[in-house]
């Protein structure tokens, strides 16, 4: 099967990753480099390394020390710590570190091939490096790999493989991958068609913030409208289990706190009740009816006077 060109439709790759309308001769995916962890335009605000420190770093990198290669690549990418901003040098050292097994460097190399940063753009090479990182458990790389399989960019289109890699990233807590998995269950792409499974994964994606969460929530609610009462109850119960297993920890904590606020109105730690509250204080005996000094007798005496 021939490789497909990137479609002009919006895609989701690496959280904020999209495909913008591309020229006819251009093939590949455009992406948000911040989502890939590429160094920012300006480097960190730390002091520059001394000339001797820079020389020692370069020597260690040339001798094959992976961590020094990775550091050198970062500095060239950002133009930091006294190194000039040089994307080609950044690519050179990221690739060296990637060959030495640095997981972050492998993802960086894939991203640079995908965007044509410091090296000639090559979706095929990007696919190869994303796959290496994904096979080692890198969630962002797995999501990128799923998108490339789904679109047929850098490889043949394969929805079964796309689902596998999206699922890996989704189980690691990535909302965009969770949205993808939910939609693929709904459409029966690369996996069995199941509105119930689609609901579970869309519900996880809806725990995020912004447009993605709103989209996921709308699609989840649309599915729920066709559920029977029993199906709806079952989906909500199993959703709690999925949240414990697959939700991003920060999102899960926020969701749990919101539920606690909804289930416990009033000030935190105070249980609201309609029963009367006994307040501490001295015990006061109720006066006997008609007794001396009683309220009724006093009123009567006052009236006679």
Closest to 32 in 3D by CA, of 166, 181, 143: 143
Question: Which tokens sit at 39?
Answer: 């160094």
Look at residue 254 in the predicted model and tell me its pLDDT.
76
Q: 263: pLDDT confidence band, cut at 50, 70 and 90?
A: confident
Q: What is the pLDDT of residues 78-100, one digit of tens each?
A: 999 999 999 999 999 999 999 99
Arithmetic mean of pLDDT, 48-58: 93
How far apart (Å, rounded) are the C-alpha atoms in residues 6 and 21? 9
Question: Which tokens sit at 234?
Answer: 């079952």
Coil, helix or strand for 150? helix
Look at residue 46 in the predicted model and tell me its pLDDT.
61
pLDDT greater than 80 at residue 11: no
pLDDT greater than 90 at residue 168: yes
Cβ–Cβ < 8 Å for 48, 82: yes
Q: 256: pLDDT confidence band, cut at 50, 70 and 90?
A: confident
Q: What is the pLDDT of residues 266-291, one digit of tens each?
A: 555 555 444 544 545 555 555 555 55
Torsion of CA 185, 186, 188, 189, to 10 degrees: -70
pLDDT greater than 70 at residue 208: yes
């Amino acid at each position: 099967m021939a490789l497909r060109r990137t479609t002009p439709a919006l895609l989701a790759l690496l959280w904020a990753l999209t495909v913008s309308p591309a020229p006819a001769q251009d093939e590949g995916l455009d992406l948000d480099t911040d989502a890939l962890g590429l160094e920012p335009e300006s480097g960190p605000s730390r002091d520059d390394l001394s000339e001797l420190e820079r020389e020692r770093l370069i020597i260690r990198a040339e001798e094959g020390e992976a961590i020094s290669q990775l550091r050198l690549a970062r500095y060239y990418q950002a133009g930091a710590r006294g190194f000039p901003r040089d994307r080609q040098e950044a690519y050179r050292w990221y690739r060296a570190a990637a060959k030495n097994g640095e997981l972050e460097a492998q993802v960086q190399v894939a991203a640079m091939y995908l965007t044509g940063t410091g090296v000639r753009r090559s979706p095929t090479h990007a696919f190869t490096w994303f796959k290496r990182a994904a096979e080692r458990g890198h969630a962002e790389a797995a999501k990128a790999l799923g998108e490339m399989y789904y679109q047929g960019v850098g490889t043949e289109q394969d929805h079964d493989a796309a689902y596998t890699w999206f699922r890996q990233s989704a189980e690691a807590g990535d909302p965009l991958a969770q949205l993808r998995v939910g939609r693929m269950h709904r459409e029966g792409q690369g996996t069995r068609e199941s509105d119930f499974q689609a609901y579970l994964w869309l519900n996880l994606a809806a725990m995020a913030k912004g447009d993605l969460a709103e989209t996921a929530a709308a699609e989840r609610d649309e599915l729920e409208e066709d559920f029977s009462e029993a199906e709806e109850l079952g989906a909500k119960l199993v959703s709690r289990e999925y949240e414990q297993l697959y939700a991003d920890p920060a999102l899960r904590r926020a969701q749990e706190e919101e539920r606690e606020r909804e289930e416990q109105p009033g000030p935190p730690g105070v249980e609201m009740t309609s029963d009367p509250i006994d307040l501490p204080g001295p015990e006061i005996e109720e006066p006997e009816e008609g007794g001396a000094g009683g309220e009724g007798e006093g009123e009567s005496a006052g009236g006679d006077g």
